[in-house]
Structure 1
Amino acid sequence: MAKYKGIWPVAPVAFHDDGRVDDEGMRRILDCMIDQGVDGICILANYSEQFLISDAEREHLTRLSLDHVAGRVPVIVTISHFATPIVVERAKLARALGADMVMMMAPYHGATLRATPEQIFEQFASAGDAGIPIMVQDAPMAGTDLTVPLLVKMAREIEMVKLFKMESAGAAAKLRALIAEGGDAIEGPFDGEEGITLLADLDAGATGTMTSAMIPDQIKPILTAWEAGDRAGATAGYARILPAVNHENRQCGFRAAKAVMMEGGVIRSDFSRHPIAPLSDPTRAMLLDLVRPLDPVALNWGK
Structure 2
Amino acid sequence: MGAYTGLSAFPITPCDADGRLDAAHLRRLLAPLVEAGVDSIGLLGSTGTYAYLTREERRRTVTVAAEAVAGRVPLLVGIGALRTDEAIRLAQDAKAAGATAGLLAPVSYTPLTEDEVFAHFAAVAEEGGLPLVIYDNPATTHFRFTPSLIGRLARLPGVVAAKCPGPAPEEAAQTVAHLREAVPEGFPLGFSGDWNATEALIEGGDAWYSVAAGLFPEPCLAIVRAVQAGDAARARSLDGAMAPLWDLFKAHSSLRIVHALAGAIPPRPILPLPEEVRARALAAVTRLEGRAPAR
TM-score, normalising length: structure 1 = 0.87
Cα distance, 1:301 vs. partner? 4.4
After the TM superposition, which residues 242-281 of structure 1 pair with which residues of structure 2 at under 5 Å, given as runs?
Answer: 242-262=243-263, 270-281=264-275
Structure 2 partner of 1:198: 197
Structure 2 partner of 1:51: 51
Cα distance, 1:27 vs. partner? 1.4
Q: Is the 8 A contact 1:27 1:68 kept in 2?
A: yes
For 2:9 and 2:153, locate their aligned partners in 1 and report how far apart those are by CA, in whole Å. Answer: 24
Q: Is the 8 A contact 1:80 1:87 kept in 2?
A: yes
Structure 1 partner of 2:4: 4
Instruction: Select 1:291's aligned residue among 265, 285, 289.
Output: 285
Q: Is the 8 A contact 1:214 1:258 kept in 2?
A: no
Pair 92,197 (structure 1): closer, same or farther in 2 beyond 3 Å:
same
For 2:89 and 2:186, locate their aligned partners in 1 and report how far apart those are by CA, in whole Å. Answer: 26
Q: Is the 8 A contact 2:6 2:208 kept in 1?
A: yes
Structure 2 partner of 1:167: 165
For 1:57 and 1:107, locate their aligned partners in 2 and report how far apart those are by CA, in whole Å. Answer: 18
Q: Is the 8 A contact 1:252 1:283 kept in 2?
A: no
For 1:138 and 1:222, locate their aligned partners in 2 and report how far apart those are by CA, in whole Å. Answer: 23
Cα distance, 1:257 vs. partner? 2.2
After the TM superposition, which residues 28-39 of structure 1 pair with which residues of structure 2 at under 5 Å, given as runs?
Answer: 28-39=28-39
Aligned residues: 288
After the TM superposition, which residues 170-189 of structure 1 pair with which residues of structure 2 at under 5 Å, given as runs?
Answer: 172=172, 173-184=174-185, 186=187, 188-189=188-189
- Ranges in structure 1 where 5+ consecutive residues have no aligned partner: 263-269
For 1:162 and 1:51, locate their aligned partners in 2 and report how far apart those are by CA, in whole Å. Answer: 23
Amino acid at match of 1:204: E
For 1:131 and 1:162, locate their aligned partners in 2 and report how far apart those are by CA, in whole Å. Answer: 13
Corresponding residue SS for 1:8: strand
Structure 2 partner of 1:63: 63
For 1:96 and 1:174, locate their aligned partners in 2 and report how far apart those are by CA, in whole Å. Answer: 36
For 2:42 and 2:76, locate their aligned partners in 1 and report how far apart those are by CA, in whole Å. Answer: 4
TM-score, normalising length: structure 2 = 0.89
Corresponding residue SS for 1:28: helix
Pair 106,56 (structure 1): closer, same or farther in 2 beyond 3 Å:
same
RMSD, aligned CA:
2.2
Structure 1 partner of 2:141: 142
Cα distance, 1:121 vs. partner? 0.8
Amino acid at match of 2:112: A
Pair 96,296 (structure 1): closer, same or farther in 2 beyond 3 Å:
farther
- Ranges in structure 2 where 5+ consecutive residues have no aligned partner: none
For 1:39 and 1:169, locate their aligned partners in 2 and report how far apart those are by CA, in whole Å. Answer: 22
Q: Residue by residue, what CA displacement relative to the aligned partner does 1:213-256 show, whole Å, maximum 9, x if unpaired?
A: 13222111111111111111111111111221221243242132
For 2:249 and 2:166, locate their aligned partners in 1 and report how far apart those are by CA, in whole Å. Answer: 18
Quick check: 24-33 or 165-174, which moved more?
165-174
Identity of aligned residues (%): 24
Amino acid at match of 1:126: A
Amino acid at match of 1:42: G
Structure 1 partner of 2:113: 116
Q: Is the 8 A contact 1:105 1:142 kept in 2?
A: yes
Amino acid at match of 2:9: P
Structure 1 partner of 2:233: 232
